[in-house]
């Protein structure tokens, strides 16, 4: 919701609450202005999550001003990245996020969820590094969030030795 619409909703709410009472217009306007922040839920943080094939990837504690490293292997099938926009009380906000990445479809096929709070990469079983950037256009004070997805070799499954006879 944009600010003019929020102001209109606030004025209507205050007018209905004071219907039949004598109130000064300046008092009604001031009361309506105090409601605008409550109507406009302001996103103050983006909370990340990630998993590979449904297994959660640990998110280090601390700030989100550095790219979040997400590791997968060529044996994995999917990587799911999540980002929940939250207000200052840790309540999820309905903000629409924009997702971009520098993958040309070589490492994965990327699909953003309907609510835009997650993105699934269906891996092509090749090694590579993808930078995924997520922005919240309605929370311009927040910098974009960056995931760095590294798809590396699978785990060691066998050891091959050779013998040389001299």
d(CA 148, CA 119): 13
Q: How far apart are CA 116 and CA 155, in angstroms?
A: 32
Domains of the chain and any CATH numbers:
3-39 (no CATH), 45-152 (2.60.40.10)
Tokens found for residue 92: 């999820």
Model confidence over 34-49: pLDDT tens digits?
Answer: 777 666 667 778 889 9
Q: Where is average pLDDT lowest: 4-13, 22-31, 35-44, 133-142?
A: 35-44
pLDDT confidence of residue 76: 94
pLDDT in tens, 62-74: 555 678 889 999 9
Residue % of the chain over a pLDDT of 90: 46
Give the least confident one: 21-30, 94-103, 141-150.
Answer: 21-30
Whole-structure pTM value: 0.70
- Of 7-11, 21-25, 51-55, 76-80, least confident by mean pLDDT is 7-11
* Position 1 pLDDT exceeds 80: no
Determine the pLDDT at residue 110. Answer: 98
Sign of CA dihedral 53, 115, 99, 58: negative
Q: What pLDDT sits at residue 135?
A: 94
6 sits in which H/E element: helix 3-17
Q: In this predicted model, which residue has the larger pLDDT, 150 or 91?
A: 150
The yes-or-no verdict on residue 93 having pLDDT over 70 is yes
């Amino acid at each position: 919701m944009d600010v003019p619409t929020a102001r209109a909703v606030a004025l209507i709410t205050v007018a209905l609450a004071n219907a039949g009472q004598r109130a000064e217009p300046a008092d009604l306007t001031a009361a309506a202005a105090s409601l605008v922040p409550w109507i406009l839920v302001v996103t103050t943080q983006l909370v990340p999550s990630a998993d590979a094939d449904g297994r959660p990837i640990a998110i280090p504690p601390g700030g989100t001003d550095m790219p979040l490293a997400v590791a997968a292997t060529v044996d994995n099938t999917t990587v799911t990245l999540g980002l929940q926009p939250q207000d200052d009380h840790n309540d999820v906000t309905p903000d629409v996020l924009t997702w971009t990445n520098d993958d040309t479809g070589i490492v994965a096929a990327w699909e953003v969820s309907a609510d835009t709070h997650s993105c699934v990469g269906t891996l092509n079983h090749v090694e590579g590094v993808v930078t995924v950037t997520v922005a919240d256009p309605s929370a311009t004070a927040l910098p974009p969030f960056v995931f760095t997805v590294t798809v590396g070799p699978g785990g060691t499954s066998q050891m091959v030795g050779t013998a040389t006879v001299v």
